[in-house]
Amino acid sequence: MNYRKIGRLNKLYFSYRDIARAFRISPGSSRVAATRLVKSGDITRVKRNFYVLSQRWNSSSLEDRLILANLLQVPSYISLMTALSYYEITTQVQPDFIESVGYYRTKLVEVKGRSFNYSKINRRLYFGFAKVKGFFMATPEKAFLDAFYLKSLKKYNFDLTSIDSGKLNMDRFRLMAGKYPILTRKLLLKYGYLKKT
């Protein structure tokens, strides 16, 4: 089997079907081929029927990893400290730990030294994100609110001193905060991010 043929795929990720096409083999044979290529270290299995060239995995950019994070759990968007770090609002940087939120389940996916963490939020709070360079990411204000929401549920900890809140649009922040549960708003009030009305 010629590994270079997979290299020609020029895709961030691929499936059995792509392997079958590259090698001109049947879909059944492509599953066997994928198993062998994973064992030989030529490709990395990220999840079922979802592979990345190992060379590309090892040299992937942050943007590549953020795209993959969106695909590992659908729907989801990048949030929390990962988003705040991307926007340069926190000094709390974890390059091999990517945080996302979704409304299906809390889950940690670990692949070859990299961790993709998914925190579950209430479906009503699934808003405040946009597509950036091929991946979905929370706005800075939403990422910060997601962190406080999870903190109010005692499911998340972060270093508040690492946050430069001066970079947040506080009008947008307060508008979004009104959609969060009272427990989250009380915590925001306690830390001075909301004012008593």
Q: Find the helix or strand (DSSP H, E) in which 80 lies.
A: helix 80-86
- Residue pLDDT, tens place only, 47-103: 999 999 998 999 999 999 999 999 999 999 999 999 999 999 999 888 899 999 999
The answer to whether position 76 is within a domain reads yes
Question: Which residues, 6 or more positions from 7, have their beta carbon under 8 angstroms from its beta carbon?
Answer: 53
SS3 annotation, 16-35: HHHHHHHHCCCHHHHHHHHH
Of 36, 58, 80, the one marking the end of a domain is 58
User: What does the pLDDT read at residue 197?
Assistant: 64
Counted domains in the chain: 2
Looking at the domain assignment, is residue 147 inside a domain?
yes
Q: What is the 3-state secondary structure (H, E, C) of 133-191?
A: CCEEEECHHHHHHHHHHHHHCCCCCCCHHHECHHHCCHHHHHHHHCCCCHHHHHHHHHC
Q: Which domain holds residue 176?
A: 62-190
Within-domain flag for 196: no
Residue holding tokens 């270093």? 159
Asked if pLDDT for residue 1 goes beyond 90, the answer is no
- List, for residues 159-171, the tens digit of each pLDDT value: 999 999 999 999 9
As beta bridge partners, residue 179 has none
CA 5 to chain centre: 30
